[in-house]
């Protein structure tokens, strides 16, 4: 290439001349036509995501569903109250179907459920963490086997066996409920921690984090949704099974339910059965709310 003037360039191949290029005309040809916008390269940091944003509508529907359930439960209990008030009640039915008796049994039922659930979490969660550590994996079949055994035994049989062994009362009822509800929390803790991406753990270890820091800052936060699902299952099981505590003087809503069956009072069985079912659904709703609130952002 040889320059021949201020605006022209002679194009050559070795010593052979190929032609002359007019530089201003070449530049004018390369420029965009007048009125045509020049293409722009979007900024990588501010480029819009071409994929449709589906997370916001799904989250809105989920929150709407969380609001619907308690409203439906309240309407159902209100309808039950109106039906009971419209029925002619004898002295036995009036003894059980009054606000004082119902709230007394409800308080005992909630106390049993709360104590049993807390004890279940305190026992099953650390045990599940321990069984996922490298030095204790050999004991995992033993722990899961014991949990399966506790849930394989019929709940009424477990309550009666413990009552024959340790006596009747609230403590025996709590023990039976803890044994019966341990498996879901234990199993979900193990599954949740095992489901953490090993590359994240290796990266954290490469950054110099200790095993304890990795557990609290990486593994447990990522396993929270699975662990909470296990706790929610255990909570519902505990609410439903706590009705059996009445057979060993443990209290709870089972008193009115059993009285209705034994005394041939269908209104008692219907009322207390619906209250127990509503309480179980409400406990499940509380678990869903906890999952929504404690779910790690960005997952």
- State pLDDT tens for residues 118-170: 999 999 999 999 988 888 878 888 888 877 777 777 888 888 888 998 888 89
- Residue closest to 234 by CA, chosen among 242, 243, 244: 242
Where is mean pLDDT largest: 53-67, 90-104, 231-245? 231-245
CA-closest candidate to residue 249, choices 173, 150, 161, 137: 173
pLDDT, tens digit (0-9, with 9 covering 90-100), for 7-56: 666 666 666 666 666 656 656 655 655 555 555 544 444 444 555 555 55
State residue 292's pLDDT score.
84
pLDDT in tens, 174-217: 999 999 899 899 999 998 998 888 898 889 888 889 888 999 99
Q: How far apart are CA 131 and CA 124, in angstroms?
A: 10
Q: Which residues contact 243 (CB under 8 A, 6 or more apart)?
A: 109, 252, 253, 254, 257, 276
Residue 178 inside a domain? The answer is: yes
Query: Based on the number of CB atoms within 10 Å of its own CB, is 113 exposed (0-12), middle (13-18) or buried (19 or more)?
Result: buried
Neighbour tally for 187: CB within 10 Å: 20
3-state DSSP call for residue 36? coil
* Residues in a beta bridge with 8: 22
Domain annotation covers residue 65: no
How many CB atoms neighbour CB 239 within 10 A? Answer: 27
Q: Is residue 175 part of a domain?
A: yes
**Residue 16 within a domain:** no
Coil, strand or helix at 197: coil
Q: What's the pLDDT score for residue 242?
A: 93
Mean per-residue pLDDT, 84-103: 88
How many structural domains comprise the chain? 1
- Phi, psi at residue 165, to the nearest 5°? -90, -45
- Extract the runs of DSSP E, i.e. beta strands, from the chain: 2-3, 8-13, 16-22
Q: pLDDT for 256-290, tens place per residue?
A: 898 888 888 889 999 999 999 999 999 999 988 88
b (16+ CB within 10 A) / e for 93-107: beebbeeeebeebbe
- pLDDT for residue 166: 87
Residue 238 has pLDDT above 90, yes or no: yes
- CA–chain centroid gap for 132, Å, is 20
Q: Is 241 helix (H, G, I), strand (E, B) or coil?
A: helix
pLDDT at residue number 69: 86
Q: Considering only the C-alpha atoms of the chain, give the largest distance between any 2 of them, rounded to a whole number of Å.
A: 123
Q: Where is pLDDT greater, at 227 or 37?
A: 227
- Segment among 1-5, 89-93, 94-98, 292-296 with least mean pLDDT: 1-5
Inside any domain, residue 187: yes
CATH number of the domain encompassing residue 221? 1.10.3720.10
- Mean residue pLDDT of the chain comes to 82
Does some domain include residue 168? yes
Nearest-angstrom CA–CA distance, 256 and 144? 36
Domain hosting 221: range is 78-294
- Tokens representing 244 are 């059996």
DSSP class of residue 215 equals: I
Q: Is residue 258 part of a domain?
A: yes
* In-domain check, residue 127: yes
Region of poorest pLDDT, from 49-58, 65-74, 168-177, 241-250:
49-58
112 has pLDDT over 70? yes
Backbone phi, psi, residue 3, to 5°: -80, 130
């Amino acid at each position: 290439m040889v320059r021949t003037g201020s605006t022209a360039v002679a194009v050559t191949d070795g010593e052979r001349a190929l032609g002359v290029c007019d530089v201003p005309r070449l530049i004018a040809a390369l420029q965009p036509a007048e009125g045509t916008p020049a293409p722009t390269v979007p900024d990588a940091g501010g480029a819009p995501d071409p994929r449709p944003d589906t997370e916001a509508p799904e989250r809105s529907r989920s929150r709407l569903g969380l609001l619907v359930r308690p409203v439906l439960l309240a309407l159902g209990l209100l309808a039950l109250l109106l039906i009971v008030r419209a029925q002619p009640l004898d002295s036995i039915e009036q003894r059980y179907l009054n606000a004082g008796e119902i709230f007394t049994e409800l308080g005992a039922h909630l106390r049993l459920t709360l104590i049993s659930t807390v004890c279940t979490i305190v026992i099953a969660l650390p045990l599940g963490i321990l069984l996922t550590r490298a030095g204790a994996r050999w004991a995992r079949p033993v722990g899961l086997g014991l949990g399966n055994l506790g849930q394989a035994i019929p709940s009424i049989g477990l309550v009666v066996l413990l009552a024959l062994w340790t006596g009747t009362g609230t403590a025996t009822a709590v023990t039976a409920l803890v044994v019966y509800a341990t498996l879901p929390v234990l199993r979900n803790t193990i599954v949740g921690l095992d489901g953490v991406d090993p590359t994240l753990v290796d990266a954290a270890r490469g950054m110099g984090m200790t095993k304890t820091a990795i557990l609290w800052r990486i593994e447990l936060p990522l396993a929270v949704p699975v662990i909470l699902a296990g706790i929610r299952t255990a909570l519902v099981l505990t609410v439903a099974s706590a009705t059996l505590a009445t057979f060993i003087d443990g209290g709870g809503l089972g008193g009115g339910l059993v009285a209705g069956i034994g005394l041939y009072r269908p209104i008692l069985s219907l009322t207390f059965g619906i209250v127990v079912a509503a309480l179980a659904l409400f406990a499940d709703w509380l678990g869903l709310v906890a999952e929504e609130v404690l779910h790690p952002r960005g997952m």
